[in-house]
A and B are shown apart, each in its own frame.
Chain A
Amino acid sequence: MRTVIALGMAVLFAFPIWFMATSAFKAEAEIQAIPMHLIPWDFQGLAQFRLAAEIAPMWTYFLNSWLYALSHVGVTVFFGALAGFGFAKYRFPGRAVLFLAVLSTIMVPFQILVVPLFIEVKAFGWENSYPGLLIPGMMNAFGVFMMRQYAADLPDELLEAARVDGASEFRIFLQIALPLLLPALASLAIIVFIWSWGNFLWPLVIVQDKALNVLSVGLTTYTQPYLGQPMWGAAMAASTVATIPIAALFIFFQRYFVKGLTAAAVKG
Protein backbone atom coordinates (compact mmCIF):
# COMPACT_ATOMS: atom_id res chain seq x y z
CA MET A 1 0.00 0.00 0.00
CA ARG A 2 2.75 2.43 1.00
CA THR A 3 4.62 1.43 -2.16
CA VAL A 4 1.62 2.40 -4.30
CA ILE A 5 1.23 5.82 -2.66
CA ALA A 6 4.97 6.45 -2.88
CA LEU A 7 4.99 5.37 -6.52
CA GLY A 8 2.24 7.86 -7.32
CA MET A 9 4.13 10.65 -5.57
CA ALA A 10 7.41 9.75 -7.26
CA VAL A 11 5.78 9.75 -10.72
CA LEU A 12 4.06 13.10 -10.08
CA PHE A 13 7.29 14.76 -8.96
CA ALA A 14 9.72 13.09 -11.34
CA PHE A 15 7.70 13.38 -14.54
CA PRO A 16 8.67 17.00 -15.47
CA ILE A 17 12.35 16.06 -15.16
CA TRP A 18 11.74 12.95 -17.24
CA PHE A 19 9.90 15.09 -19.77
CA MET A 20 12.85 17.50 -19.98
CA ALA A 21 15.49 14.79 -20.41
CA THR A 22 13.52 12.80 -23.02
CA SER A 23 12.38 15.88 -24.96
CA ALA A 24 16.03 16.79 -25.47
CA PHE A 25 16.13 13.79 -27.83
CA LYS A 26 12.80 14.39 -29.60
CA ALA A 27 12.10 16.26 -32.82
CA GLU A 28 10.49 19.70 -32.33
CA ALA A 29 7.02 18.51 -33.45
CA GLU A 30 7.07 15.46 -31.20
CA ILE A 31 7.79 17.48 -28.05
CA GLN A 32 4.33 19.03 -28.17
CA ALA A 33 2.60 15.75 -29.12
CA ILE A 34 -0.69 15.13 -27.28
CA PRO A 35 -0.84 12.69 -25.60
CA MET A 36 2.75 13.14 -24.52
CA HIS A 37 5.28 10.56 -25.72
CA LEU A 38 7.02 8.98 -22.74
CA ILE A 39 10.10 8.18 -24.81
CA PRO A 40 11.19 9.65 -28.17
CA TRP A 41 9.59 7.75 -31.06
CA ASP A 42 11.78 9.54 -33.56
CA PHE A 43 15.13 9.57 -31.70
CA GLN A 44 17.21 12.61 -32.64
CA GLY A 45 20.57 11.69 -31.16
CA LEU A 46 22.46 14.81 -30.17
CA ALA A 47 20.90 17.01 -32.86
CA GLN A 48 19.04 19.22 -30.36
CA PHE A 49 22.24 19.75 -28.35
CA ARG A 50 24.04 20.82 -31.53
CA LEU A 51 21.15 23.15 -32.39
CA ALA A 52 21.27 24.63 -28.87
CA ALA A 53 24.98 25.37 -29.34
CA GLU A 54 24.19 26.98 -32.72
CA ILE A 55 21.43 29.32 -31.49
CA ALA A 56 23.57 30.58 -28.61
CA PRO A 57 27.13 29.90 -27.36
CA MET A 58 25.89 27.19 -24.97
CA TRP A 59 29.33 25.68 -24.32
CA THR A 60 30.77 29.10 -23.48
CA TYR A 61 27.91 29.58 -21.01
CA PHE A 62 28.62 26.12 -19.64
CA LEU A 63 32.33 26.85 -19.13
CA ASN A 64 31.53 30.18 -17.50
CA SER A 65 29.15 28.41 -15.12
CA TRP A 66 31.95 26.04 -14.14
CA LEU A 67 34.37 28.92 -13.67
CA TYR A 68 31.80 30.77 -11.58
CA ALA A 69 30.87 27.79 -9.40
CA LEU A 70 34.37 26.37 -8.95
CA SER A 71 35.93 29.74 -8.07
CA HIS A 72 33.23 30.25 -5.44
CA VAL A 73 33.74 26.73 -4.10
CA GLY A 74 37.54 27.06 -3.96
CA VAL A 75 37.59 30.45 -2.26
CA THR A 76 34.78 29.68 0.18
CA VAL A 77 36.23 26.33 1.17
CA PHE A 78 39.81 27.53 1.67
CA PHE A 79 39.20 30.92 3.27
CA GLY A 80 36.12 29.66 5.11
CA ALA A 81 38.21 26.93 6.73
CA LEU A 82 41.05 29.36 7.46
CA ALA A 83 38.74 31.90 9.09
CA GLY A 84 36.67 29.24 10.84
CA PHE A 85 39.88 27.81 12.29
CA GLY A 86 41.03 31.28 13.32
CA PHE A 87 37.72 32.09 15.05
CA ALA A 88 37.52 28.70 16.78
CA LYS A 89 41.07 28.17 18.01
CA TYR A 90 42.61 31.59 18.71
CA ARG A 91 41.69 34.20 21.33
CA PHE A 92 42.48 37.61 19.88
CA PRO A 93 40.97 41.01 20.66
CA GLY A 94 37.88 41.77 18.58
CA ARG A 95 37.18 38.11 17.88
CA ALA A 96 33.55 38.16 19.03
CA VAL A 97 32.73 41.41 17.21
CA LEU A 98 34.32 40.31 13.96
CA PHE A 99 32.57 36.95 14.05
CA LEU A 100 29.22 38.60 14.70
CA ALA A 101 29.85 40.99 11.80
CA VAL A 102 30.56 38.09 9.44
CA LEU A 103 27.59 36.13 10.74
CA SER A 104 25.20 39.06 10.30
CA THR A 105 25.81 39.02 6.54
CA ILE A 106 23.94 35.68 6.35
CA MET A 107 20.76 37.53 7.29
CA VAL A 108 20.99 40.03 4.42
CA PRO A 109 19.17 38.70 1.34
CA PHE A 110 20.92 39.27 -1.96
CA GLN A 111 18.11 41.46 -3.35
CA ILE A 112 19.06 44.08 -0.74
CA LEU A 113 22.64 44.06 -1.99
CA VAL A 114 22.14 43.89 -5.72
CA VAL A 115 21.58 47.61 -6.43
CA PRO A 116 24.32 49.10 -4.18
CA LEU A 117 26.71 46.27 -5.07
CA PHE A 118 26.17 46.93 -8.76
CA ILE A 119 26.97 50.63 -8.29
CA GLU A 120 30.07 49.75 -6.24
CA VAL A 121 31.38 47.16 -8.70
CA LYS A 122 30.71 49.55 -11.58
CA ALA A 123 32.80 52.17 -9.75
CA PHE A 124 35.63 49.62 -9.57
CA GLY A 125 35.40 49.44 -13.38
CA TRP A 126 34.41 45.76 -13.18
CA GLU A 127 31.07 45.98 -14.99
CA ASN A 128 30.71 43.37 -17.71
CA SER A 129 33.96 41.58 -16.82
CA TYR A 130 35.12 38.38 -15.17
CA PRO A 131 36.25 40.12 -11.94
CA GLY A 132 32.81 41.74 -11.65
CA LEU A 133 31.06 38.46 -12.34
CA LEU A 134 33.18 36.26 -10.09
CA ILE A 135 34.54 38.24 -7.15
CA PRO A 136 31.56 39.76 -5.26
CA GLY A 137 29.96 36.37 -4.44
CA MET A 138 33.17 34.44 -3.89
CA MET A 139 32.86 34.15 -0.12
CA ASN A 140 29.92 32.79 1.72
CA ALA A 141 29.49 33.60 5.41
CA PHE A 142 27.76 30.29 5.89
CA GLY A 143 31.10 28.59 5.09
CA VAL A 144 32.85 30.49 7.90
CA PHE A 145 30.04 29.67 10.31
CA MET A 146 29.99 25.97 9.42
CA MET A 147 33.79 25.62 9.52
CA ARG A 148 34.05 27.36 12.87
CA GLN A 149 31.73 24.75 14.35
CA TYR A 150 33.75 21.84 12.97
CA ALA A 151 37.12 23.46 13.78
CA ALA A 152 36.04 23.94 17.40
CA ASP A 153 35.89 20.13 17.76
CA LEU A 154 39.54 19.66 16.74
CA PRO A 155 41.59 18.47 19.73
CA ASP A 156 43.73 21.29 21.18
CA GLU A 157 46.45 18.83 22.28
CA LEU A 158 47.14 17.97 18.66
CA LEU A 159 47.69 21.62 17.71
CA GLU A 160 49.76 22.24 20.85
CA ALA A 161 51.98 19.22 20.08
CA ALA A 162 52.71 20.57 16.61
CA ARG A 163 53.43 23.98 18.10
CA VAL A 164 55.97 22.45 20.52
CA ASP A 165 57.57 20.71 17.53
CA GLY A 166 58.14 24.15 16.09
CA ALA A 167 55.54 24.11 13.30
CA SER A 168 54.39 27.55 12.16
CA GLU A 169 50.71 28.42 12.72
CA PHE A 170 50.00 28.36 9.01
CA ARG A 171 51.55 24.90 8.72
CA ILE A 172 49.43 23.71 11.63
CA PHE A 173 46.36 24.87 9.71
CA LEU A 174 47.49 23.40 6.42
CA GLN A 175 48.85 20.06 7.59
CA ILE A 176 46.81 19.25 10.70
CA ALA A 177 43.52 21.17 10.71
CA LEU A 178 42.70 21.06 7.00
CA PRO A 179 43.00 17.26 6.58
CA LEU A 180 40.80 16.68 9.64
CA LEU A 181 38.17 19.09 8.30
CA LEU A 182 38.05 17.32 4.94
CA PRO A 183 34.65 15.55 5.31
CA ALA A 184 32.99 18.80 6.41
CA LEU A 185 34.73 20.64 3.58
CA ALA A 186 33.29 18.15 1.09
CA SER A 187 29.75 18.88 2.27
CA LEU A 188 30.43 22.61 2.17
CA ALA A 189 31.89 22.36 -1.33
CA ILE A 190 28.74 20.61 -2.59
CA ILE A 191 26.38 23.17 -1.06
CA VAL A 192 28.36 26.11 -2.43
CA PHE A 193 28.55 24.48 -5.85
CA ILE A 194 24.76 24.02 -6.01
CA TRP A 195 24.11 27.59 -4.84
CA SER A 196 26.58 29.10 -7.30
CA TRP A 197 25.63 26.90 -10.23
CA GLY A 198 22.01 28.08 -10.07
CA ASN A 199 22.81 31.75 -9.35
CA PHE A 200 20.81 34.01 -11.61
CA LEU A 201 20.31 37.59 -10.41
CA TRP A 202 23.94 38.74 -10.10
CA PRO A 203 25.15 37.32 -13.45
CA LEU A 204 22.02 38.79 -15.02
CA VAL A 205 22.73 42.36 -13.92
CA ILE A 206 26.53 42.53 -14.06
CA VAL A 207 27.21 40.96 -17.46
CA GLN A 208 25.95 42.00 -20.90
CA ASP A 209 28.41 40.17 -23.18
CA LYS A 210 27.22 36.79 -24.33
CA ALA A 211 30.80 35.57 -24.00
CA LEU A 212 30.67 36.21 -20.24
CA ASN A 213 27.23 34.82 -19.49
CA VAL A 214 26.65 31.79 -17.30
CA LEU A 215 24.31 29.01 -18.36
CA SER A 216 21.43 29.94 -16.03
CA VAL A 217 21.19 33.36 -17.69
CA GLY A 218 21.95 32.00 -21.16
CA LEU A 219 19.06 29.54 -20.87
CA THR A 220 16.53 32.35 -21.11
CA THR A 221 17.59 32.77 -24.76
CA TYR A 222 15.93 29.49 -25.67
CA THR A 223 12.43 30.42 -24.53
CA GLN A 224 12.31 32.99 -27.34
CA PRO A 225 11.49 31.91 -30.90
CA TYR A 226 14.53 31.71 -33.17
CA LEU A 227 14.07 32.72 -36.83
CA GLY A 228 10.34 32.75 -36.09
CA GLN A 229 10.30 29.13 -34.90
CA PRO A 230 9.91 27.89 -31.33
CA MET A 231 13.04 26.06 -30.22
CA TRP A 232 11.76 23.87 -27.40
CA GLY A 233 14.03 20.97 -28.36
CA ALA A 234 17.10 23.17 -27.97
CA ALA A 235 15.64 24.60 -24.75
CA MET A 236 15.22 21.10 -23.28
CA ALA A 237 18.72 20.09 -24.43
CA ALA A 238 20.29 23.16 -22.79
CA SER A 239 18.18 22.62 -19.65
CA THR A 240 19.44 19.05 -19.48
CA VAL A 241 23.04 20.25 -19.83
CA ALA A 242 22.43 22.70 -16.96
CA THR A 243 21.07 19.92 -14.74
CA ILE A 244 23.69 17.23 -15.38
CA PRO A 245 26.46 18.58 -13.05
CA ILE A 246 24.10 18.74 -10.05
CA ALA A 247 22.58 15.36 -10.91
CA ALA A 248 26.09 13.88 -11.11
CA LEU A 249 26.94 15.29 -7.68
CA PHE A 250 23.73 13.77 -6.35
CA ILE A 251 24.48 10.35 -7.82
CA PHE A 252 28.14 10.14 -6.84
CA PHE A 253 28.09 11.94 -3.48
CA GLN A 254 24.57 11.23 -2.28
CA ARG A 255 25.67 10.99 1.36
CA TYR A 256 27.46 14.35 1.42
CA PHE A 257 24.76 15.87 -0.76
CA VAL A 258 21.84 15.24 1.57
CA LYS A 259 23.98 15.83 4.68
CA GLY A 260 25.25 19.11 3.27
CA LEU A 261 21.84 20.43 2.29
CA THR A 262 20.36 19.46 5.65
CA ALA A 263 23.26 21.07 7.53
CA ALA A 264 22.88 24.23 5.45
CA ALA A 265 19.19 24.38 6.28
CA VAL A 266 19.56 23.68 9.98
CA LYS A 267 22.51 25.96 10.62
CA GLY A 268 22.05 28.64 7.97
Chain B
Amino acid sequence: MILRYLKLWFSLAKFSLLGEMAFRGNFVVKIVVELLWLGMLLVFNFTIFQQTTQIADWKVNEYLFFIGCYFTMGGLMEMLFLDNCNQFSDLVRTGDLDFFLLKPIDEQFLVSCKHIDWSCAPNILLGLGVMGYAFWLGEWELDFFKAVLLVVLFISGMGLAYGFMLLLMSASIWMMRNQSLFEMWWLFTTLMRYPREIFKGRFAEPTQLFFSFVVPIMLVTNVPARVMVKGLESSWLPWYAIGSALVVLGVSRWVFRAALQRYRSAGS
Protein backbone atom coordinates (compact mmCIF):
# COMPACT_ATOMS: atom_id res chain seq x y z
CA MET B 1 0.00 0.00 0.00
CA ILE B 2 2.65 2.54 1.09
CA LEU B 3 4.90 1.31 -1.71
CA ARG B 4 2.07 1.83 -4.24
CA TYR B 5 1.54 5.41 -3.07
CA LEU B 6 5.27 6.08 -3.05
CA LYS B 7 5.60 4.79 -6.62
CA LEU B 8 2.64 6.88 -7.66
CA TRP B 9 4.11 9.95 -5.98
CA PHE B 10 7.38 9.47 -7.85
CA SER B 11 5.47 9.15 -11.12
CA LEU B 12 3.54 12.35 -10.38
CA ALA B 13 6.82 14.07 -9.50
CA LYS B 14 8.42 12.83 -12.72
CA PHE B 15 5.54 13.95 -14.94
CA SER B 16 5.35 17.32 -13.15
CA LEU B 17 9.03 17.85 -13.89
CA LEU B 18 8.53 16.83 -17.53
CA GLY B 19 5.59 19.25 -17.73
CA GLU B 20 7.64 22.12 -16.29
CA MET B 21 10.60 21.35 -18.54
CA ALA B 22 8.30 21.70 -21.54
CA PHE B 23 8.38 25.44 -20.77
CA ARG B 24 12.03 25.92 -19.86
CA GLY B 25 11.98 29.73 -19.90
CA ASN B 26 9.11 29.94 -17.44
CA PHE B 27 10.76 27.31 -15.24
CA VAL B 28 14.06 29.20 -15.06
CA VAL B 29 12.39 32.57 -14.40
CA LYS B 30 10.33 31.03 -11.57
CA ILE B 31 13.48 29.67 -9.94
CA VAL B 32 15.27 33.01 -10.24
CA VAL B 33 12.30 34.92 -8.78
CA GLU B 34 11.98 32.50 -5.85
CA LEU B 35 15.70 32.73 -5.06
CA LEU B 36 15.66 36.52 -5.36
CA TRP B 37 12.77 36.74 -2.92
CA LEU B 38 14.52 34.53 -0.36
CA GLY B 39 17.83 36.32 -0.95
CA MET B 40 16.16 39.67 -0.19
CA LEU B 41 14.69 38.22 2.98
CA LEU B 42 18.12 36.99 4.01
CA VAL B 43 19.76 40.37 3.30
CA PHE B 44 17.00 42.10 5.29
CA ASN B 45 17.69 39.91 8.30
CA PHE B 46 21.46 40.42 8.05
CA THR B 47 20.80 44.18 7.93
CA ILE B 48 18.87 43.99 11.18
CA PHE B 49 21.74 42.12 12.81
CA GLN B 50 24.08 44.96 11.81
CA GLN B 51 22.15 47.06 14.38
CA THR B 52 21.86 44.51 17.18
CA THR B 53 23.47 41.29 18.37
CA GLN B 54 20.23 39.52 19.21
CA ILE B 55 16.48 39.68 18.70
CA ALA B 56 14.53 38.59 21.79
CA ASP B 57 16.80 35.74 22.96
CA TRP B 58 17.85 34.71 19.43
CA LYS B 59 21.50 35.35 18.56
CA VAL B 60 22.56 35.87 14.96
CA ASN B 61 23.52 32.26 14.19
CA GLU B 62 20.43 30.95 16.03
CA TYR B 63 18.22 33.31 14.08
CA LEU B 64 19.95 32.24 10.89
CA PHE B 65 19.11 28.62 11.69
CA PHE B 66 15.50 29.66 12.24
CA ILE B 67 15.43 31.42 8.86
CA GLY B 68 16.96 28.36 7.19
CA CYS B 69 14.33 26.20 8.84
CA TYR B 70 11.59 28.52 7.55
CA PHE B 71 13.02 28.53 4.01
CA THR B 72 13.21 24.74 3.96
CA MET B 73 9.75 24.26 5.43
CA GLY B 74 8.18 26.91 3.20
CA GLY B 75 9.97 25.53 0.15
CA LEU B 76 8.72 22.02 0.86
CA MET B 77 5.16 23.21 1.41
CA GLU B 78 5.21 25.25 -1.79
CA MET B 79 6.83 22.50 -3.80
CA LEU B 80 4.57 19.71 -2.60
CA PHE B 81 1.20 21.21 -1.80
CA LEU B 82 0.66 24.93 -2.39
CA ASP B 83 0.01 24.80 -6.13
CA ASN B 84 -2.36 21.87 -5.72
CA CYS B 85 -4.31 23.56 -2.94
CA ASN B 86 -4.44 26.81 -4.91
CA GLN B 87 -5.90 25.03 -7.93
CA PHE B 88 -8.45 23.13 -5.90
CA SER B 89 -11.14 25.82 -5.99
CA ASP B 90 -10.81 25.95 -9.80
CA LEU B 91 -11.24 22.19 -9.95
CA VAL B 92 -14.40 22.52 -7.86
CA ARG B 93 -15.79 25.46 -9.82
CA THR B 94 -15.20 23.92 -13.24
CA GLY B 95 -16.16 20.40 -12.22
CA ASP B 96 -12.72 19.04 -13.17
CA LEU B 97 -12.53 17.54 -9.70
CA ASP B 98 -14.71 14.78 -11.18
CA PHE B 99 -11.67 13.10 -12.70
CA PHE B 100 -9.86 12.95 -9.38
CA LEU B 101 -12.83 11.39 -7.66
CA LEU B 102 -13.16 8.70 -10.32
CA LYS B 103 -9.71 7.24 -9.75
CA PRO B 104 -9.29 4.21 -7.47
CA ILE B 105 -6.97 6.04 -5.14
CA ASP B 106 -7.29 8.18 -2.05
CA GLU B 107 -8.80 11.47 -3.21
CA GLN B 108 -6.90 13.54 -0.67
CA PHE B 109 -3.60 12.09 -1.83
CA LEU B 110 -4.34 12.66 -5.50
CA VAL B 111 -5.65 16.19 -5.05
CA SER B 112 -2.79 17.19 -2.73
CA CYS B 113 0.04 15.62 -4.70
CA LYS B 114 -1.03 15.80 -8.33
CA HIS B 115 1.53 18.43 -9.21
CA ILE B 116 4.97 18.95 -7.74
CA ASP B 117 6.26 22.49 -8.23
CA TRP B 118 9.92 21.80 -8.96
CA SER B 119 10.75 25.48 -9.28
CA CYS B 120 10.61 25.66 -5.47
CA ALA B 121 13.27 22.94 -5.05
CA PRO B 122 16.14 25.50 -4.96
CA ASN B 123 14.41 27.20 -1.99
CA ILE B 124 14.75 23.96 -0.08
CA LEU B 125 18.41 23.66 -0.97
CA LEU B 126 18.97 27.28 0.00
CA GLY B 127 17.17 26.69 3.31
CA LEU B 128 19.24 23.58 4.03
CA GLY B 129 22.38 25.53 3.14
CA VAL B 130 21.47 28.34 5.54
CA MET B 131 20.68 25.81 8.29
CA GLY B 132 24.03 24.08 7.67
CA TYR B 133 25.92 27.39 7.72
CA ALA B 134 24.20 28.42 10.98
CA PHE B 135 24.97 25.01 12.45
CA TRP B 136 28.62 25.41 11.52
CA LEU B 137 28.69 28.92 13.06
CA GLY B 138 26.88 27.84 16.23
CA GLU B 139 29.00 24.76 16.90
CA TRP B 140 26.00 23.09 18.53
CA GLU B 141 26.12 19.54 19.70
CA LEU B 142 24.02 17.16 17.67
CA ASP B 143 23.60 13.71 19.17
CA PHE B 144 21.46 10.95 17.71
CA PHE B 145 18.46 11.70 19.94
CA LYS B 146 18.52 15.39 19.02
CA ALA B 147 18.83 14.61 15.32
CA VAL B 148 15.85 12.25 15.42
CA LEU B 149 13.85 14.76 17.45
CA LEU B 150 14.67 17.50 14.96
CA VAL B 151 13.48 15.36 12.03
CA VAL B 152 10.30 14.32 13.87
CA LEU B 153 9.49 17.92 14.84
CA PHE B 154 10.23 19.12 11.34
CA ILE B 155 7.86 16.52 9.89
CA SER B 156 5.19 17.32 12.49
CA GLY B 157 5.59 21.03 11.61
CA MET B 158 4.95 20.17 7.98
CA GLY B 159 1.99 18.05 8.98
CA LEU B 160 0.57 20.96 10.94
CA ALA B 161 1.00 23.37 8.03
CA TYR B 162 -0.44 20.86 5.54
CA GLY B 163 -3.43 20.23 7.82
CA PHE B 164 -4.26 23.95 7.91
CA MET B 165 -3.82 24.17 4.16
CA LEU B 166 -6.18 21.23 3.65
CA LEU B 167 -8.78 22.88 5.88
CA LEU B 168 -8.62 26.07 3.85
CA MET B 169 -8.76 24.06 0.64
CA SER B 170 -11.80 22.07 1.75
CA ALA B 171 -13.72 25.31 2.25
CA SER B 172 -13.59 25.75 -1.54
CA ILE B 173 -16.30 23.13 -1.94
CA TRP B 174 -18.72 25.32 0.00
CA MET B 175 -17.46 28.68 -1.22
CA MET B 176 -16.44 27.80 -4.82
CA ARG B 177 -14.04 30.75 -4.84
CA ASN B 178 -11.88 31.15 -1.78
CA GLN B 179 -9.15 33.60 -2.61
CA SER B 180 -9.65 35.29 0.76
CA LEU B 181 -8.95 32.04 2.54
CA PHE B 182 -5.69 31.81 0.69
CA GLU B 183 -4.88 35.29 1.89
CA MET B 184 -5.19 33.63 5.29
CA TRP B 185 -2.58 31.12 4.24
CA TRP B 186 -0.17 33.96 3.48
CA LEU B 187 -0.94 35.39 6.91
CA PHE B 188 -0.08 32.01 8.36
CA THR B 189 3.25 31.91 6.53
CA THR B 190 4.04 35.37 7.91
CA LEU B 191 3.43 34.01 11.39
CA MET B 192 5.69 31.06 10.67
CA ARG B 193 8.48 33.40 9.62
CA TYR B 194 9.31 34.90 13.04
CA PRO B 195 10.33 33.46 16.42
CA ARG B 196 7.47 33.49 18.94
CA GLU B 197 9.61 35.33 21.51
CA ILE B 198 9.69 38.57 19.49
CA PHE B 199 5.96 39.08 20.04
CA LYS B 200 5.93 41.28 23.15
CA GLY B 201 3.45 43.79 24.44
CA ARG B 202 -0.25 44.19 25.14
CA PHE B 203 -1.52 43.07 21.75
CA ALA B 204 1.33 41.02 20.39
CA GLU B 205 1.59 38.57 23.28
CA PRO B 206 -2.05 37.41 23.24
CA THR B 207 -1.74 37.09 19.45
CA GLN B 208 1.34 34.93 19.88
CA LEU B 209 -0.43 32.76 22.47
CA PHE B 210 -3.47 32.39 20.23
CA PHE B 211 -1.41 31.34 17.21
CA SER B 212 0.74 29.03 19.33
CA PHE B 213 -1.87 27.15 21.28
CA VAL B 214 -5.31 27.67 19.73
CA VAL B 215 -4.43 27.82 16.04
CA PRO B 216 -0.87 26.56 16.50
CA ILE B 217 0.57 27.73 13.20
CA MET B 218 3.48 29.46 14.96
CA LEU B 219 4.74 26.14 16.23
CA VAL B 220 5.44 24.94 12.68
CA THR B 221 8.97 26.41 12.46
CA ASN B 222 9.47 27.61 16.01
CA VAL B 223 9.53 24.25 17.72
CA PRO B 224 12.05 22.38 15.53
CA ALA B 225 14.32 25.43 15.21
CA ARG B 226 14.29 26.18 18.94
CA VAL B 227 14.91 22.59 19.97
CA MET B 228 17.97 22.59 17.71
CA VAL B 229 19.49 25.86 18.90
CA LYS B 230 18.38 25.99 22.53
CA GLY B 231 17.97 22.31 23.35
CA LEU B 232 14.96 20.80 25.10
CA GLU B 233 13.95 23.74 27.33
CA SER B 234 10.42 22.54 27.74
CA SER B 235 9.47 18.89 27.90
CA TRP B 236 5.86 19.44 26.87
CA LEU B 237 6.05 21.90 23.95
CA PRO B 238 7.48 19.40 21.42
CA TRP B 239 4.80 16.93 22.47
CA TYR B 240 2.18 19.63 22.15
CA ALA B 241 3.45 20.41 18.63
CA ILE B 242 3.36 16.72 17.62
CA GLY B 243 -0.06 16.20 19.24
CA SER B 244 -1.57 19.26 17.59
CA ALA B 245 -0.17 18.17 14.21
CA LEU B 246 -1.91 14.81 14.60
CA VAL B 247 -5.17 16.46 15.68
CA VAL B 248 -5.11 19.02 12.85
CA LEU B 249 -4.28 16.30 10.29
CA GLY B 250 -7.15 14.13 11.56
CA VAL B 251 -9.66 16.98 11.66
CA SER B 252 -8.63 18.29 8.24
CA ARG B 253 -9.04 14.83 6.69
CA TRP B 254 -12.49 14.51 8.24
CA VAL B 255 -13.49 17.99 7.00
CA PHE B 256 -12.15 17.23 3.51
CA ARG B 257 -14.18 14.04 3.27
CA ALA B 258 -17.29 15.77 4.61
CA ALA B 259 -16.76 18.55 2.06
CA LEU B 260 -16.59 16.04 -0.79
CA GLN B 261 -20.09 14.91 0.13
CA ARG B 262 -21.25 18.46 -0.66
CA TYR B 263 -19.51 18.52 -4.02
CA ARG B 264 -21.98 19.47 -6.75
CA SER B 265 -19.74 19.08 -9.79
CA ALA B 266 -20.56 21.43 -12.67
CA GLY B 267 -22.93 21.22 -15.60
CA SER B 268 -21.55 19.96 -18.88
A and B part of one assembly:
no
